Amino acid sequence: MTKKSAIRAMAFLLTGLTFLLPAHLAAQTTGRIEFEARVAATGGQPEPVRQLPFYLLRKSFQDIRAEAMQSAPAPDLDKFVDGLEVSPELKAWMKKHHSVQLSGEEFTKNLTPEDIVGISEYFKAYMTHNAAYRGMGFPEPKFKEKDRKANPEKYEEQKDQYEASVRKFIAASPDSVKGMDLELVDLNPNAKWVALENKHAKMVEADAMQIAEERYVVARAETDLDGRGSFSGVAPGNYWIGMFGAEAISGDVRQHWDLRVTVRQGETASIELSNFNAVRSTTSAQNSNN
């Protein structure tokens, strides 16, 4: 080989190294994540989560959602109650119990005789529901409307006695409370409150997804038919593998992940995503009740 040929060969070799070294160094200074996602229906075997998008985030999506809520505070229950056209006593009861649900076994079970007699809406519902039992040991009022003005002391005394006897009857006959919520159907504001909460939740979720995409998404990967995916060329550090805008579904189970993972220089992190490390694992039956 001539001196000139040797120089050309050396120049060619150096040129090749110029292109190869950066890629080699990058592989050494970054890491890789390989993951496999599976979801199992209740009582079933795990199935691959196929062709769904997963995101690598710099921040937990739960924390991103909390960030979104700072600019969109949750609806105020007390303010909602203040806007209802009900008695002051019922408003006070709702605020005390942090609930506007006026139906169901749990609701009637938690009502006290004092609640029923002292809140006009409850008293009316209770009396209407138990109208058929009057004359069968059910207390009868002795006060008369004409005495309200003609003899107010007598009226108030007899009214107090009647209410006391009703409270005593309720305490002795708790089953008489069951079903009185059927008389409150038109008054129950729970459906409006739930609709307000759902509207807020959807708004927060949309804001959180926008914040995540604009500030925290590092990479995106779609799972293959075996439920596998990967993120390459990831700088060392802590990340979260998450899903947003989609859920993994198998039979009656719906879930997603928001799992922390640590990437180390020159290493591959292998992650298995399953029902056990999912953020939420719910059934369609539960969802239908929400």
- Within a domain: residue 12? no
Q: Name which of 24-28, 94-98, 243-247 the model is least confident about.
A: 24-28
In this structure, the answer to whether residues 96 and 39 fall within a common structural domain is no
In this structure, the answer to whether residues 41 and 98 fall within a common structural domain is no
What number of other Cβ atoms are within 10 A of residue 279's Cβ?
14
Q: For residue range 254-266, what is the model confidence (pLDDT) as tens digits?
A: 999 999 999 999 9
- Domain of residue 182 covers 85-188
- Within a domain: residue 156? yes
Which of 158, 188, 218 is where one domain is finished? 188
Question: Which of the two residues, 63 and 245, has the higher pLDDT score?
Answer: 63
CATH code, 242: 2.60.40.10
Give the list of residues 6+ apart from residue 138 with CB closer than 8 angstroms, or none: 130, 169
Q: For residue range 193-252, what is the model confidence (pLDDT) as tens digits?
A: 999 999 999 999 999 999 999 999 999 999 999 999 999 999 999 999 999 888 999 999
pLDDT band at 3 (very low <50, low <70, confident <90, very high): low
